[in-house]
């Protein structure tokens, strides 16, 4: 299961795994309490694989940011999302030194750290697996 099946649903706590599609939306399972919910198309839903973080030079996919946190923490959990703003910013600048301070807010950092900890608790270990597969496909297309 990759980040392309993990959802953040506006107004709902935590992260959800996409389990099935329905005519008017889809069914998702909470990674916090394993409860299944029906989500219709009116909900604001973000797929984690589609989220990127602004830096001064480019946008870094969220999976790469998660991988950098994982490398820094040796696969363990990171700081709490309830830490102070200064602690969050300090830690985030260690992980991603060139992040755009004008466009990446403390609230974004809180979500990133909270999501990372949820994913680690649920057994996610490789955040860039899908990116590598896509890169290999893109290189193959360029060679043809």
What tens digit of pLDDT does each residue of 5-39 get? 899 999 888 999 999 988 888 999 999 999 999 99
pLDDT at 41: 84
CATH code for the domain of 20: 2.30.30
| Average pLDDT of the chain, as a whole number | 85
Structural domain ending residue among the three candidates 30, 48, 66: 48
Split into its structural domains, the chain has a count of 2
- Measured CA to CA in angstroms, residue 26 lies from 12, 33, 119 at distances of 15, 18, 21
66: containing domain? 51-128
What tens digit of pLDDT does each residue of 33-84 get? 999 999 988 889 999 999 999 999 999 999 999 999 999 888 888 888 898 9
Q: For residues 96 and 71, is the Cβ–Cβ distance under 8 A?
A: no
Q: Which of 15, 67, 64, 4 is nearest to 37 (CA)?
A: 15
Query: What pTM was computed for the model?
Result: 0.83
What tens digit of pLDDT does each residue of 117-131 get? 999 998 887 777 554
Q: Are residues 103 and 59 in the same domain?
A: yes
> How are strands ordered across the β-sheet holding 25-30?
36-40, 25-30, 16-22, 6-9, 45-47
Q: Are residues 82 and 114 in the same domain?
A: yes
Q: Are residues 15 and 73 in the same domain?
A: no
């Amino acid at each position: 299961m990759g980040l392309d099946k993990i959802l953040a649903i506006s107004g709902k706590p935590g992260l959800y795994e996409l389990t099935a599609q329905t005519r008017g939306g889809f069914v998702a399972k909470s990674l916090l309490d394993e409860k299944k919910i029906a989500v219709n198309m009116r909900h604001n839903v973000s797929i984690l694989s589609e989220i990127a973080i602004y830096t001064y030079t480019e946008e870094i996919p969220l999976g790469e940011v998660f991988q950098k946190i994982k490398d820094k923490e040796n696969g363990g959990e990171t700081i709490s999302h309830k830490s102070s703003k200064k602690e969050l910013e300090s830690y985030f600048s260690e992980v991603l030194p060139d992040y755009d301070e004008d466009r990446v807010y403390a609230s974004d950092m809180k979500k990133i750290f909270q999501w990372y900890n949820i994913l680690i608790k649920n057994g996610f270990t490789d955040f860039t697996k899908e990116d590598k597969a896509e890169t290999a496909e893109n290189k193959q297309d360029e060679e043809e």
